[in-house]
Amino acid sequence: MVHETHGGETPHLVLGGARSGKSRFAEKLITAYPPPYLYVATAEILDEEMRLRVDHHRRRRGKAWETIECPLNLVPLLNQFNSQAVPVLVDCLTLWMSNLMLQETPCQPELLVDSLSETLLRVNYPLVLVSNEVGCGIVPDNPFARRFRDLAGIANQKIAAACRRVTYVAAGLPLTLK
């Protein structure tokens, strides 16, 4: 069952480059619903620069948002929200994939992406997911970075196929892809 939304359907994938306006656009999609809002943060604060980014995003969102930190176990968390009808924003899938790849214990991120895609087919609550489009830049100079770029590209394709709506944001301007 897919939840009908204001003029669209979810899940909704929002893609874009760094500082493209994708997070702000995704927040607008969620705030079209009545509060409370859940923000699923995949980022881990490992340095001062990331702490400043997180603080900026939290101030911009305001008090109507509850933040749940989920750097790794995204699929089980999203499954818990079924039938709750609370709007959920996941920001961002590329950080989630990066976290998976950097784990000390071996994991197969591709299988978790497949599991996420399958979960998205069963979502029955308002859900917006944010992901970076990383394949538009230069070719990375090392095998790990190339593997990440490839994983992100393939994941975006699979997740976009599972989502009812897909929007690409560039220079703060949304372009509907699906």
DSSP track, 41-80: E-----SHHHHHHHHHHHHHH-TTEEEEE-SS-HHHHHHH
pLDDT band at 1 (very low <50, low <70, confident <90, very high): very low
Q: Which residue has the higher pLDDT, 155 or 58?
A: 155
Strands in the chain per DSSP E? 4-5, 8-9, 12-16, 37-41, 65-69, 88-91, 127-132, 165-170, 173-176
- The answer to pTM > 0.85 is yes
Rounded percentage of the chain residues whose pLDDT exceeds 90 = 75
Do 99 and 45 form a contact (C-beta atoms < 8 A)? no
SS3 content of the chain, % helix, strand, coil (to 5): 40, 20, 40
Active site (catalytic) residues: 57
Do 172 and 17 form a contact (C-beta atoms < 8 A)? no
Between CA 159 and CA 116 the distance in angstroms is: 8
What pLDDT is recorded for position 104?
86
- Residue 73, judged by CB atoms within 10 A of its CB (0-12, 13-18, 19+), counts as exposed
pLDDT of 3 > 70? The answer is no
pLDDT of 70 > 50? The answer is yes
What pLDDT is recorded for position 143?
94
Going from N- to C-terminal start, the domains of the chain cover: 4-176
Tokens 């995949």: give the residue: 42
- Residue 1, judged by CB atoms within 10 A of its CB (0-12, 13-18, 19+), counts as exposed
Using one digit for the tens of pLDDT, what is the confidence trace for 20-41?
A: 999 999 999 999 999 999 999 9
| Identity at 159, one-letter amino acid code | I
Between CA 116 and CA 51 the distance in angstroms is: 27
Q: What's the mean per-residue pLDDT of the chain?
A: 91
pLDDT of 62 > 80? The answer is yes
Rounded percentage of the chain residues whose pLDDT exceeds 70 = 96
Using one digit for the tens of pLDDT, what is the confidence trace for 135-173?
A: 887 889 999 999 999 999 999 999 999 999 999 999 999
What pLDDT is recorded for position 137?
79
Section 83-105 average pLDDT: 93
Instruction: Give domain 4-176's CATH number out of 3.40.640.10, 3.40.718.10, 3.40.50.300, 3.90.650.10.
Output: 3.40.50.300
pLDDT band at 57 (very low <50, low <70, confident <90, very high): confident
Between CA 113 and CA 151 the distance in angstroms is: 9
Using one digit for the tens of pLDDT, what is the confidence trace for 40-53?
A: 999 988 899 888 88
| Chain mean position to CA 56 | 18
| Chain mean position to CA 53 | 16
